[in-house]
Structure 1
Amino acid sequence: MSACRAFRRPVPRRRTTLLAATTALAALSLTACGSGDGPKSGGQTQFVQGTGGVSVVNDKNSRQQAPDLSGKTLDGKALDVAKDYKGKIVVFNVWGSWCSPCRAEAKNLVTVANAYKDKGVQFVGLNTRDPDPAPAIKFEKEFEVPYPSLHDSGGRVLLRFPKGSLNPQAIPSTVFIDREGRIAARAIKALSEEELRKTLDPLVAEK
């Protein structure tokens, strides 16, 4: 029997939510090469598949609204991105303390976050697959991260991104949200400082 064949065994309802979150996290463990995204049409988001795993929605009217990005931060405070950072460009980075590429890009995120804080840009992290927040807090102190991170060890916030949108599909992933709360771009890899600036500058220039 092929290992790919699924058993059709009934799944108890109480396990449905857990399995959904586990499936989402398993998908995020894949690299960007498995995303399979391309230009969308019709009711889907129309975006340009950029080189190096960065996709951009140039037409503002084609951008999808970002989902509810709220919850508790690593230090236990309540955070609602849409309300707390209304009118700002948000750089939403998905990361884990266990993730080597996340460590590689951390200094770039910190540098650009500090450089663009007076340009109406707010960085927010989404820490995932860290059941205990202690390693993630240590990570933030090590890299002197100046912005908050939601703690989403179970992947529930990630499940809020609509299917067919520029949703995070790898760890690390970065979603760029415009001033109107719409998803303008997504990167499914660790980003360099140059790539962060190149993606942010057109959003900052938008009227």
Structure 2
Amino acid sequence: MSTRSRAVLLTAAAAAAALALSACGKGGVSGGGGDTHFVTGKNGIDTVAAAKRATAPDLSGKTIDGKTLDVADYKGKVVVINVWGSWCGPCRSEAKYFAKVSKEYADKGVQFVGINTRDTSTTPAVNFEKEHGVEYPSLYDPTGKLMLRFEKGTLNPQIVPSTLVIDRHGKVAARALEALDDTGLVEMIKPVLAEK
């Protein structure tokens, strides 16, 4: 292989690696400029004071098992939205924690909803949920259209995985742009659940 061919191959590999990391990784930056009204805590969780929160967009459609779901139907509950893909390593790491905490908080006024994205069919998504014991519903969003409904400059899901907590009034209260364990997940939920 020539030096030039090797350089082109290495450049292509580096670009592919950068793209993979941006699509499924840890951390991220907020979209939009100006005063976004949110604060990032030491735990990496962005939060917004109740008076400054943006209303969550329409998050409705078909689930990975073919049912119809509208997140607005859960108004009055705290809703945890987890954006995931079966192809995403960090999503696999956090799935057991989401399964566990969703069960622990089911009778405390908290509803979990997944948004499965970038899976080309529902088969790997359904298998992922079975493998990891995820029992809450997941909307099927193969092209990321639901993620794009969030306004720029708000607490929006920007990478996979992303987790959002929506308050009882349908407004986005908190966001994490990284895989979470059960402790981090509970840290996101508890303050919003304590609100009246």
Alignment of 1:14-29 (within 5 A): 29=23
Identity score, percent: 56
Query: What is the number of residues matched between the two proteins?
Result: 178
1:34 Cα deviation (Å)? Answer: 4.0
1:31 Cα deviation (Å)? Answer: 3.8
Of 191, 196, 203, the match for 2:180 = 191
Alignment correspondent of 2:46: 55
1:39 Cα deviation (Å)? Answer: 9.4
CA contact (8 A) 2:46 2:174 kept: yes
* Pair 1:64 & 2:54 matched: yes
Measure the CA separation in 2 of the matches of 1:40 and 1:185: 19
* Pair 1:205 & 2:194 matched: yes
CA contact (8 A) 1:66 1:161 kept: yes
1:53 Cα deviation (Å)? Answer: 3.1
Alignment of 1:107-186 (within 5 A): 107-186=96-175
In structure 1, the gaps of 5 or more residues are: 1-24
Supply the AA of the counterpart residue of 1:107: K
Measure the CA separation in 2 of the matches of 1:39 and 1:175: 20
CA-based RMSD of the aligned residues comes to 2.1
Alignment TM-score, normalising by the size of structure 2:
0.85
Alignment correspondent of 1:104: 93
1:47 Cα deviation (Å)? Answer: 1.1
In structure 2, the gaps of 5 or more residues are: 1-18
Structure 1 residues 73 and 36: CA distance shift in structure 2, 3 A:
closer
Measure the CA separation in 2 of the matches of 1:64 and 1:180: 10
Alignment correspondent of 2:29: 35
Structure 1 residues 127 and 78: CA distance shift in structure 2, 3 A:
same
1:48 Cα deviation (Å)? Answer: 0.8
CA contact (8 A) 1:90 1:178 kept: yes
Measure the CA separation in 2 of the matches of 1:71 and 1:117: 22
CA contact (8 A) 2:163 2:176 kept: yes
CA contact (8 A) 1:175 1:187 kept: yes
